[in-house]
Structure 1
Amino acid sequence: MYSDIDEQVIIERDCEATLIPFGNKITLKKGEEGHITQALGGSYTVMIRGNLARVEGKDADAIGKTPQTQPWLEEVEPNGRANEKSVWEAMKTCYDPEIPVNVVDLGLVYSCEISDEDSGGSLVKVKMTLTAPGCGMGDMIATEVKQKIEGIPGVS
């Protein structure tokens, strides 16, 4: 899903955001004005105070939006194992906040292996790289991939 927009917003409550491209945490203050420049994968890129900041989906209400649904969370194999298609779909909702391309289509994911756990469920191992050496958003992107995969039924 590509969403390159320019929508003015007024911050409705204080919320945490991530400064792009540095990765520093900042607080957007209630009443501040900004512009949504990108809405992809459940997060939002907002131009505010002359900088780009990423607002996570859990804070969508702070910019007047409703969190997006995650349909891949509903699919699980009959044996309780994580659905491989769901894992790839989840990764395709993780976007570089500076460019409107997901980590899979950017070629950042090298491999994805799913194995059964003795305790039940599945272990998912992903090998991926950053968009560029020294990218301040790399940890944030990797964490987003991890969190979205961990939210899939059957992943332990």
Structure 2
Amino acid sequence: MELTPETIKKALQPVVDPEIGISVVDLGLIRDIQITPEGVVTVRMTLTSPFCPEGPAIVQEVEQTVRFLPGVKEAAVELVWNPPWDPRTEASDEVKAMLGIWD
């Protein structure tokens, strides 16, 4: 498996926000993935709210999932809050429909 942002997102698909029960990838919480040639991966992500009670657990699960991928030497998660998460622009179309968000 080649280590790319797409393969990492695929590996993160099973990680869900436990309050909503939807994948962090489908929610659009994964903002950016940087991979160095040395296998250091940094995932920039946000949460649905800065006060998300499950935030630490979600971040830990994302980091552990990435850390155990073949070719990853180090993994880190960086939380970003700007811009705030907006499901109307960041969530997948399927999630928008599930949340009752229509364009």
TM-score using structure 2 length: 0.64
Mark the runs of 5 or more structure 2 residues left unpaired by the alignment: 74-103
Name the structure with the higher strand share: 1
Query: As a proportion of its length, which structure holds more helix?
Result: 2
Q: Distance in 1 between matches of 2:28 and 2:49?
A: 12
Take 1:139 and 1:103, find their aligned partners in 2: how far apart are those partners? 13
- The alignment of Structure 1 onto Structure 2 pairs a total of residues equal to 73
Q: Which has the higher contact order (CA 8 A, sep 6+)?
A: 2
| Same amino acid, percent of matched pairs | 41
Query: 1:89 maps to what in 2?
Result: 10
2:74 equivalent to 1:153: no
Aligned equivalent of 2:27: 106
Regions of 4+ moved over 3 Å: none
Q: How far apart are residue 132 of structure 1 and its match?
A: 1.1
Deviation at 1:83, TM superposition (A): 4.3
RMSD (Å), alpha carbons: 1.3
TM-score (norm 1): 0.44
